[in-house]
Each structure stands twice: as C-alpha cells, then as structure tokens.
Structure 1
Amino acid sequence: MPSTTVYNKAGEAVEQLELSEQVFGVTPNMAVLHQVVTAQLVNRRQGNASTKTRSEVSGGNKKPYRQKGTGRARQGSTRAPQFRHGGVVWGPRPHPYHHDVPKKMRRLAIRSVLSDKVANENLIVINDLGLESPRTKDMIEILNKLPSSAGKQVLLVLPQRDENVVLSTRNIASAKVQHVSSINVVELLKHDYVIMPVKTIRWIELVFGEGLSAEEASLKIAEAGAESNA
C-alpha cells in the first residue's frame, strides 16, 4: 500500500499517511492520459473564429470594368476573392469543438496522474494549510519550508474554499490554488508539485476510489470533522 509523509506548516514531518492503493497506487495508463488531455484542451477552444465570404463583405455592386474590349480577364465584382477587400475562400467559420470522454476514462486518468505524483514524490501532504489572515509573505514561508524545489510550479488543492489561502497565493507566480472538485489532468500535469491537506486526500479517495459523488464525499468528510471536534 502506498504511503506518504504528512508535514506541518513548519515543514516538519509529523506522521506517515497510508494512501488508497486503487487511487494512488495504479500503473499510469499513458494512452488514456493522452486521450483525456487532448479532449480537455480541445474542449477549451471557443470555436468563434469567422471570416466573411464574397456575399457578406460590403461593396462590389457593379462590375469593375466593362466585359469586353479591355484585354483583361472578365470580372463581375471587386469583392471576388482575388481582389483587395474581397471575400475569403474556405475561411474559418464558427463551430463547436467538443470531444467527449467517458467518465471511467476521466477518473482513470486522474488516478494515473496521482499515482505518478506519489511514485515520484511530487505529492506533498500537509495537515493544515489554513491562515489566520491573508498574507503573501506567510504563504511563501510555508511553501519554502515544504519539500518542493524553488522555482517549481506548485498546485494547492483545497477541500473547501479558503479566502485567506486564495488571497495569499494569487500574487505568487509559481503557485496556484484550486478546489478539489475542479481537479483535472491538465492542471496536475502542468505543475511539478501538488500540495494537498489530508482532507483533500480523503475526498479524492472517496470519489475516485469508492465511487461516491462529489456532494456525498464532501458531506461525509464534514460529518467526520464534526465528530472529531465533538
């Protein structure tokens, strides 16, 4: 069973956390990864590029010159494609770009990336990432104390929105904050290190391991937190 070290905000190792084998210990499926990444990038395209044909450009209501006697090729309109300000032939037109991927494939791709992060020690688990007030300097100190190389891209995945963490991180060029429900393959691959609180790990195991919905997983974690605080 895979495991990872849990750190505190001072960068000290506090415990060893066992991870789900079916989420963090699978063999990465490169074919599925490629297909999911391609689909996600394609689905980001707006598809609103557009050009005008000769029937849509303005002007060109009369012949540029008479039909015969000039020695030149006959022309019917100055808005034909060969003229300046003429229409465009076979130019781009608005159309949707969409590539649908089955849910099982998307989840397999997520498990593949997470397993690769664990295998290469690029997944950093922290017991608590909360801040008393938004302050960029405090967030930089936390990131510098954690075992992530300087200058590397870091993705912080939170179990719930924390405004102090979001505001403290937005001016750090090498760091990005994301809610766990928005976890996706492209963002995981773009960043060298992924930092997750323990609650995020448990949410991922419930959704991608046990097959619960995002709402059910959030509710279960909230109930567990309430019981532990009682």
Structure 2
Amino acid sequence: MKIPVYNMQGEQVREIELSPYIYEIEPNVSVMHQALVRQHANARLGTHSTKTRAEVARTGAKVWRQKGTGRARQGSRRAPHWVGGGVAFGPKPRKYTKDMPKKMRRLAIRSALATKAQAGKIVVVEDLAFETPRTKEMAAVLERLGIGGKSTVVLVGLGDDENVKRSAANLEDVKTLHWRYLNVRDLLGHEYLLMPVQAVEAIDALWGEKEA
C-alpha cells in the first residue's frame, strides 16, 4: 500500500510504501474489542469501598428490649436497614486487570492501524517540527493537511518534539502520543492518525516483524 507524504505546507512531496503485514491485513474486530476492554479495565483504580456493619461507627447497644414492645426485634443500629448503618454487599477494593497474550496485543494494534489505513485516515508528513511552541501554527498545519478541527492523534517521540507537544496541547481534538505508546483506545477513539515518516519506519520496525 502506497500513501502520499506531505510537507508542513500541505504539498505532496513523494509517496511511501506501507508494510503489508501491518496495514493490509484483514482487521480482527473481536481482538480489537478485547484489547479495548482490557485497556479500559486496566485503567480502573478499583479503590471504591463501602463500610460493612462491622466497620461503621455506631452504638453497639440493643435498640430496644427483645420482647414486650409490640415492634419487630432489632439487634443493632449498625444493621444495613438503619440510616447510618453498614452497606450490605457494597463494593470493596479490587483489581480489574485483565491479561492478554502478546501476539493478540500485537494483532490488535496492527488491526487498528490497518483499519485507519484502509479508511484513508492516516496522514504522513516528511517532518513535523516547530522552532517555538505556537498553537496557531499547529492548527494551520493541520488545516493545510486537511484535518483541521478533526479528532487526531499526532505521533511524537523521535527527536525534539517538545514544541510540537506544547503547540498541540490547547487544541481540543488533538492528542500527542509517543509512538511507542500507540494503543487501540487512542487509534479507535480518534478519526485521524498524523505521523512523520520516522514514526512510520519505527512502527514498521516494532510491529512489522512477524512472530516466530
């Protein structure tokens, strides 16, 4: 698969060949879904907690005597049906982490990249660099590339990208991401993927090798 390479002025300068092992495969939707569920689950802190009847700070005295009042017998103000009592079967701290085989994780990434490529949602630039951080310049570059105002992931991490990250920080629909941290959630959650040629080569080297 060949796609055009643009400069920061939005002009096509050449074409680049994408790895068929990554971008031309049949996307595996079920594996992408599993990877997305796993990523969301692993992001949960699991720190939710409620107090049981053994943990609430209330009197331990019997509410009223067992017999002779005409009312139902009550043993403790800490019981769940009393206001201020403990919570029955409430959440407690737990782990939500899910595991996934490495080959499946790699397939999920390749499937997400293939989905973007086959939909024409990958934009490659020769280079992406700014002398000083300026949001206006970043917005202008995106506009010239035809993705201005669109939900976009911009790959960085191949040099001095601090100015790029700071230029995109105030753009509502733009997220900068180190190319090594490319993930299914960000790929599927944004419409476009913008990456310099160096990022394409780095991704080919990392995810383009066939497993033994």
Give the TM-score range, shorter chain: over 0.9
Q: Is the 8 A contact 1:159 1:197 kept in 2?
A: no
Residue aligning to 2:167:
168
Residue aligning to 2:152:
154
Deviation string 1:15-67 (CA, Å, 9 cap, x unpaired) is 01011110111110111111111111111111111100000000121011111
Q: Give me the TM-score of the superposition, normalised by structure 2.
A: 0.96
Identity of aligned residues (%): 45
Question: What SS does the corresponding residue of 1:196 show, helix, strand or coil?
Answer: strand
CA RMSD after TM alignment? 1.3
Residue aligning to 2:71:
72
Q: List runs of 5+ in structure 1 lacking aligned partners.
A: 213-230
- One-letter amino acid matched to 2:153: L
Question: What SS does the corresponding residue of 1:205 show, helix, strand or coil?
Answer: helix
Deviation string 1:177-203 (CA, Å, 9 cap, x unpaired) is 000011100100000000000000000
CA distance, structure 1, for counterparts of residue 43 and residue 68 of structure 2: 55
Residue aligning to 2:190:
191
Question: Does residue 176 of structure 2 align to residue 177 of structure 1?
Answer: yes
Question: What SS does the corresponding residue of 1:23 show, helix, strand or coil?
Answer: helix
Q: Is the 8 A contact 1:10 1:142 kept in 2?
A: yes
Q: Is the 8 A contact 1:50 1:94 kept in 2?
A: yes
Q: Which structure has greater helix proportion?
A: 1
CA distance, structure 2, for counterparts of residue 97 and residue 54 of structure 1: 25
Question: Does residue 25 of structure 2 align to residue 26 of structure 1?
Answer: yes
Question: Does residue 43 of structure 2 align to residue 44 of structure 1?
Answer: yes
Q: Is the 8 A contact 1:122 1:192 kept in 2?
A: yes
Q: Is the 8 A contact 2:58 2:85 kept in 1?
A: no
Alignment of structure 1 residues 1-230 onto 2, 5 Å: 2-148=1-147, 150-160=148-158, 162-210=161-209
Higher relative contact order (CA 8 A, sep 6+): 2
Residue aligning to 1:215:
none
1:211 offset after TM fit, Å? 6.0
Q: Is the 8 A contact 1:159 1:203 kept in 2?
A: no
Question: What SS does the corresponding residue of 1:97 show, helix, strand or coil?
Answer: coil
